[in-house]
Structure 1
């Protein structure tokens, strides 16, 4: 019995309908009927009772189904595992993220990745430090990183934009800007702009903390904090302001800070990053899963749908 003949028999036994079987296997209904007739001639008995209203397995057909289905599933699983091993899918996939929102998107993408590739290995999540975001990726501790764009690194490749979020300015509740409905980029010249310490790429600093405003006014950079929580503490204490993505208001709400939207700042964008030299089937499969998740009505509800 050829593999395709067996597949047609098993599918027809599940569907009990020639038309649905043909549609599911992407073959013609005539091919299904011809295959069943050939199997019945080879076995010497009817496998299906067929009328104008219904299709049912005969006792011999049911016995054949019970005998061959477990073996067919073993073969199918074995081939899937071999394909997964050939594509490098069986090893655990280590995915990093740099913000709570990107972490949630990674979780949704991991679920889609496992659903699409049940033979694949586990997905292990890690939070990457904002102060040195690419270190774990370069050291081989991560296979993928969901990070802020742009990423302009000679050894790293990027996928499509997965999240696009509005920019806001974080200020103390005592700051004059806290009572305003919005701010502009020129307003950055009216206070010290705080940042994070560490080897953050210059192009990220220039994007978040420009040296001059669109109107040509100088921007004074203030203190640098080692962590996000330290940075928010400094802002809350009135030591300066900090530009950020709007979604941070959901995850870093504090009674002494306010998130004021910009009217003229471009959005912040995020996507997946990986080492160019080790782009694998797992990397491509997970990237496809993340794109599919975001593509469902702009992303999973409450995660990134409001940002795109």
Structure 2
């Protein structure tokens, strides 16, 4: 079994489309199909159910996928170790981030990597929520994830706090409270709320619900939105209000206002996460650099560790 066979298999498994997988691998579709057939012959079982409209993993393909990730990760680690012996850090580092939440932090880190670690190829994967980031870390498809904290206690995944921002209300510009200098969350009890997904994958959604419950009510969420900037845009259209971190205030779309809260301060905690043991010298170099570029703020009694 060749590593390139597994690379082809992982690409098709993730894309579930031979054309997109071939484009991702910079090869024609026919050689890709031949490679998958060679792998299927080698393992003695079909890995994909194919028809003219869809591609799906078979039970054999589903069983092979996590092992393929592990083999490719081990190959990458071995290659990086050999390159590190030359005295320079080489490799690919894949960073997952949500988008709007990271407009202050990701550019600083990315510029520093390109400036100080020029032999590292940086891949940025957008629209990754905290929950998705942790899943992708564990299956090896990204190396570092920007996340909301806390992320739970798993020894396999490490994390570090990089910023703490106050929560505030965001309302349409024609809302009765739009011109207030500060408000309490209780004043929004009768409003419709817009939220990031409430399935546990979004730290900001968790903070929104915590703010409402602390004010004595459960926010009435009328729509869940996966993209934080689109959430702000929907508020600007008048579809509802929300509770968001202050670092989103500078990028509000026209038609929305951010208002500080005068309740007991609630915070959004931002961090980065990575696999504790299974990472390359390139990832280690980026993590070390991040400690200087995005240092951990002073710890308070309410700050996640």
The alignment's TM-score, normalised by the length of structure 1, stands at: 0.59
- Between the aligned partners of 2:115 and 2:215, the Cα distance in structure 1 is 50
- The residue number in structure 1 matching 2:191 is 191
State the secondary structure of the residue aligned to 2:285. helix
Does residue 1:231 correspond to 2:227, yes or no? no
- How far the C-alpha of 1:242 sits from its partner, in A, is 1.0
Residue number in structure 1 paired with 2:3: none
Quote the residue 1:129 is aligned against.
Answer: 128
Over 3 Å counting, the alpha-carbon distance change for 1:185 and 1:280 in structure 2 is farther
CA drift of 1:144 comes to: 0.3
4+ aligned runs moved over 6 Å, structure 1:
none
* Matched ranges for 1:268-279 at <5 A: 268-279=268-279
**Aligned-pair CA distance for 1:159:** 3.3
Q: Deviations over 1:256-293 (max 9, x none)?
A: 11111123332212111113352443333212212211
Q: Indicate whether 1:177 and 2:177 are aligned.
A: yes
Gaps of 5+ in 1: 1-79, 299-308
Please provide the CA RMSD for this pair: 3.5
- The match for 2:217 is 217
Post-superposition Cα deviations, 1:99-142, rounded to whole Å, max 9, x if no partner, equal 34525523322343455545x42122221333853243344221
Distance 2:214 2:107 in 1: 38
Residue 257 of structure 1 corresponds to which residue in structure 2?
256
Matched, 1:142 2:142: yes
Say if 1:131 and 1:199, in contact at 8 Å, map to a contact too: no
CA 1:270–1:203: 2 relative to 1, 3 Å: closer
- Do 2:196 and 2:205's aligned partners in 1 also have CA atoms closer than 8 Å? no
In 1, the alpha carbon distance for the partners of 2:82 and 2:226 equals 46
Q: Structure 1 residues 156, 187: closer, same or farther in 2, change over 3 A? A: farther
* Residues 1:104 and 1:141: Cα distance change in structure 2 (over 3 Å): farther
| 1:1-308 paired onto structure 2 within 5 Å | 84=84, 89-100=89-100, 102-118=102-118, 120-130=119-129, 133-134=132-133, 135-152=135-152, 154=154, 157-197=157-197, 199-201=199-201, 204-210=204-210, 212-251=212-251, 253-263=252-262, 264-295=264-295
The alpha carbon displacement at 1:214 in A equals: 2.2
Question: C-alpha offsets along residues 52-86 of structure 1, whole Å, 9 cap, x if unaligned?
Answer: xxxxxxxxxxxxxxxxxxxxxxxxxxxx9956258
Kept after mapping to 2: 8 A contact 1:166/1:268: yes
**1: CA distance, partners of 2:85 / 2:222:** 51
* Corresponding position of 1:58: none
The answer (yes or no) to whether the contact 1:96–1:145 under 8 Å persists in 2 is: yes
Deviation at 1:215, TM superposition (A): 4.2
Unaligned runs of 5+ in 2: 1-79, 299-305
